[in-house]
Chain A
Amino acid sequence: MSSLEKLEKIDRRIVYLILIIVVAAVLLRPIGLPIPISASTKKYYDAINSLPPGSVVALGVDFDAGALPELGPMLEATLKMLFNSDKKFVIFSLWSGGPAVSTIYLNKLKDLIESSGKKYGEDYVLLPYIAGGETAAAALAKDFKNTVKNDYYGTSVDKIPLLKNINTAKDFALLITITAGTPGVEEYLRQWVSPFGIKFCVGALGVSAPNYMPYYTSGQIYGMIQGSRGAAEYELLIGSPSTAASSMDALSAGHIVTIVFILLGNIVFVLRKYSRKEVKS
């Protein structure tokens, strides 16, 4: 076997080990590369920031455990911004993981909630999971309170002051979904944005952001956080760099490893092609 052949048939576990070593090394010795802010993240921030005081935001926590590493920081930063602002918000979820994920972050931000003076039920509320995907999105948009009936802790929606004037999607000043896929962006576009004309912002996985670009460039999505990179930008924008920002150097290292392997794979491929041609001639 030639050395090129050996390289081409390298044990995949060596590739895995290289990735682990490079990422661990950069995590332990971060470089501190600057993180420029993109326009789509800035618009997400502006959308919340520019709302009049007392506006009610619909915050869809539409993901579960698997997407937590990328979307968790977005949710945490969004909650921090909302708790530090004069806006009110309703957390709901078309994904079963939403209530548990929201509870974890609300517990994490306990001190901030206390210092912000925000009161549960008056300034923010956590609703349970609503099954059904598209039908659930439509039901919420048309008749919000009748669809959920109770908050996550079992209190009837009629007894929650914040929900007193919330009947349809029109009663929210902004819709945000932090979503791992379906149900998510497209369901809200079809059932909330298009029929009710509500302003819409999205926190998307890096893998889904390219799919949502047509909606962002068309203006149907106003602002969008794109993956963990976007989350890091947003953390910087709200002045509270956290998990996402601290992982950016390792993310760069991981990308470089991937690109080097793509290039290396192609160099070996081309060299092998030429060496075969030479043998033939």
Chain B
Amino acid sequence: MSSTFLNKELPIILIFATGVIMIASYFVSAPEIYLDPLASNLSQAASLVAAYATILGIVTLAIIHINHVVKRTKGQWIYSIVALALALLMIVVGFIGELGTHPYFIWLYQYPLIALDTTIYSLLAFYIVSAAFRAFKVRSVEALILVVAGIFVMLMNAPVGAAIWSGFPTIGNWIMSVPNSSGFRGFIIGAAIGAIAIGLRVLLGKEKGVLGRS
């Protein structure tokens, strides 16, 4: 077998074959060729490949930090040691007893990890309020609609809206279920058409970028 076949054509054939099996299993019943169990096993296998890919991602992250430590990158290598040490700690604790069930493992998640993760997410509250003052300017009809819809939805979400005027939640609900729903429905329909078209191109081998080649 030529290396071009293994390198370029085999992956495209695999994409086509696996994709067709998944689509076909939805429309046709073919127990004589075990189509249904084949499709079921294939989706389980693909999930596992995704799991291996996650491990690959973690290994890559570790390599980046190890490189920083080895090269003593200024202003970074000490932090890289911290990241590597805590990753290792979490992994070691995770291996005690049944994988990932030890109370210390849950403790590391419940206290340090949750505290840091939620705090970093919550920083956006500050940025969003600051941006509300600096950037949310009504310069056009579109901007006016954006601001008005935003304010009504905020007054629907916050109980104070209904306390000020009962119309706020009513109008907010209407914005959510009519203009908002229609706008996002337009996106969904458009995105679905796009995704189907791109999906078919991928299956037919026209989108080689998915394999990491230009």
Q: Do chains A and B stick together as partners? A: yes
Question: Is B118 at the interface (CB under 8 A from chain A)?
Answer: yes
User: In whole Å, how far is A100's beta carbon from the nearest beta carbon of chain B?
Assistant: 4
Cβ A146 vs Cβ B40 within 8 A: yes
Instruction: For A39, give the chain B residue with the smallest CB separation.
Output: B173
Q: Which residues of B contact A66 (CB under 8 A)?
A: 117-118, 120-121
Q: Which residues of A contact B54 (CB under 8 A)?
A: 131
Instruction: Give bound CA distance, A195 to B9, whole Å.
Output: 33
Cβ A217 vs Cβ B134 within 8 A: no
Instruction: Give bound CA distance, A139 to B147, whole Å.
Output: 43
Given contacts A16-B126, A68-B118, A258-B128, contact A135 B46 (CB under 8 A): yes
In the complex, chain A residues 193-248 whose Cβ is within 8 Å of any chain B Cβ: 195, 206, 209-211, 213-214, 216-218, 226-227, 229, 248
Can you list 9 A-B contacts with CB-CB less than 8 angstroms, sorted by A residue number? A19-B126, A33-B159, A100-B105, A213-B184, A229-B158, A252-B160, A261-B133, A262-B151, A266-B136
Q: Which residues of A contact B153 (CB under 8 A)?
A: 210
Bin the interface of chain B by size: 35 or more
Question: Is A154 at the interface (CB under 8 A from chain B)?
Answer: yes
Cβ A33 vs Cβ B160 within 8 A: yes
Ordered nearest first, which 4 A-B pairs have the shortest CB separation?
A132-B47, A252-B160, A65-B117, A131-B51
**A interface residues, Cβ below 8 angstroms from B:** 10, 12, 15-16, 19, 33-36, 38, 64-69, 97, 99-100, 103-104, 107, 128, 130-133, 135-136, 138-139, 142-143, 146-147, 152-154, 195, 206, 209-211, 213-214, 216-218, 226-227, 229, 248-249, 251-259, 261-262, 264-266, 269
Cβ B43 vs Cβ A139 within 8 A: yes
Q: Which residues of B contact A218 (CB under 8 A)?
A: 185
Instruction: Give bound CA distance, A132 to B49, whole Å.
Output: 8
Q: Which residues of B contact A68 (CB under 8 A)?
A: 114, 117-118
Q: Which residues of A contact B188 (CB under 8 A)?
A: 214
Cβ A103 vs Cβ B106 within 8 A: yes
In the complex, chain B residues 172-191 whose Cβ is within 8 Å of any chain A Cβ: 173, 176-177, 180-182, 184-185, 188
User: In whole Å, how far is B196's beta carbon from the nearest beta carbon of chain A?
Assistant: 12
**B interface residues, Cβ below 8 angstroms from A:** 22, 26, 36, 39-40, 43-44, 46-51, 54, 98-101, 105-106, 109-110, 113-114, 117-118, 120-122, 125-126, 128-130, 132-138, 147, 150-151, 153-155, 157-163, 169, 173, 176-177, 180-182, 184-185, 188
User: In whole Å, how far is A260's beta carbon from the nearest beta carbon of chain B?
Assistant: 9
Instruction: Give bound CA distance, A206 to B153, whole Å.
Output: 11
Q: Which of A15, A130, A154, A251 neighbours the largest number of chain B CB atoms within 10 Å of its CB?
A: A15
Q: Which residues of A contact B180 (CB under 8 A)?
A: 210, 213
Instruction: For A268, give the chain B residue with the smallest CB separation.
Output: B133
User: In whole Å, how far is B192's beta carbon from the nearest beta carbon of chain A?
Assistant: 10
Instruction: Give bound CA distance, A66 to B176, whole Å.
Output: 25
User: In whole Å, how far is A15's beta carbon from the nearest beta carbon of chain B?
Assistant: 5
Cβ B110 vs Cβ A100 within 8 A: yes
